Structure 1
Amino acid sequence: MSIVIGTSYVWNIVTATVMGLQTAAFAGCASSHKTRLDLPHSAEVGSRSTEKLTDAQNEEFTRFQKVSQSHTQYLPLAQSSVLLAGLFYPKLSAYAGAAYIIGRLIYSVGYIKSGPEGRKYGVFFICPSIITLLSASLYGSFKALSLV
């Protein structure tokens, strides 16, 4: 048995790869931020090592950590959805995946610069793209099973 990947589906693979790279980049930013603040690699929000930070530094550190955690939490859902939905609707899922990537970038930069209020603009891209990907995956599956 061989797997044939059409040229349309390649964009889904590229999109899923960029999602992973984006998550790794923000994890790297959070890690370098720890180094800049002279914190140990294992430092977490509210730990003893963060007690020496000023309030402003602690707030900034918290934002970087939350952005990194948010990327990591949603990566499996986003990647698997873009790959699975791409089996049925490769172009639609590649576009939705690209919207997710743009939304994540806007969300991250907004949150780091402005706090929780700044993340709302990215959510306008993230939520519809995830709903589209999950819906396309489920609909394509049900259609393949002749349930719709």
Structure 2
Amino acid sequence: MSIVIGTSYVWNIVTATVMGLQTAAFAGCASRQKERLDLPHSTEVGSRATEKLSDAENEEFSRFQKVHQAHVEYTPLAQSSVLLAGLFYPKLSAYAGAAYIVGRLIYSISYIKCGAEGRKYGVFFICPSVITLLGASFYGSFKALSLI
């Protein structure tokens, strides 16, 4: 079986690129949050620099940092999965990648505004899309190897 990259695959590349831009955007949001609170660039949650913040500011800073960290942890998996699954199922993986992007956006905004309880709204999109992408990657690979 040979893999031919057609015009359908371009949407997978666009989706993977938007995932990276989304991660960079929330990194920028976290950095601006540090500047707004007059914190050093290398400040982490619970550090001495955050001791001067009010409880509300510290909680807000913590939420921004946690959202950024969640993006950093999952973007490589989502990007590689959308690109790999797209080799076999370009439309399915592009749609699943778009659902991931929407879910990550909902997750981020609702977590920042509502706290940990707000995460669940984005997870409804994130988890099924990641499972779909991983499943399509494995299934396509096993099929290409004639194991299925």
Please classify the TM superposition score into its range, dividing by the shorter chain length: over 0.9
The residue type equivalent to 2:69 in the other structure is Q
Contact 2:99/2:126 (CA < 8 Å) preserved in 1?
yes
CA distance in 2, matches of 1:5, 1:132: 20
Equivalent runs, 1:3-22 vs 2, <5 Å: 5-22=5-22
Deviations 1:72-110 (A, max 9, x none): 000100000000000000000000000000000000000
Aligned counterpart, 2:54? 54
**How many residue pairs align between the two structures?**
146
Cα distance between partner residues in 1 of 2:113 and 2:78? 24
- Aligned-pair RMSD on alpha carbons? 0.9
Deviations 1:21-40 (A, max 9, x none): 00000000000000000000
- Deviation track 1:101-130 (CA, whole Å, cap 9, x = no partner) reads 000000000000000000100000000000
- Equivalent in the alignment of 2:144: 144
Q: List runs of 5+ in structure 2 lacking aligned partners.
A: none
- Normalising to structure 2: TM-score of the pair? 0.97
SS in 1 for 2:115: helix
For the pair 1:63 / 2:30, whether they are aligned, the reply is no
Contact 2:107 2:120 in 1 (8 A): yes
SS at match of 2:80: helix
Aligned ranges 1:1-148 → 2 under 5 Å? 5-148=5-148
Take 1:33 and 1:126, find their aligned partners in 2: how far apart are those partners?
25
- The one-letter code of the counterpart of 2:145 is L
- SS across alignment from 2:39: coil
Paired AA for residue 49 in structure 2? S
Aligned partners of 1:72 and 1:119: how far apart in 2? 16
Q: Please report how far the alpha carbon of residue 4 of structure 1 lies from its aligned counterpart in structure 2 after TM superposition.
A: 5.6
Deviation digits for residues 30-71 of structure 1, max 9, x if unmatched?
000000000000000000000000000000000000000000
Whole-Å separation in 2 of the counterparts to 1:145 and 1:42 = 47
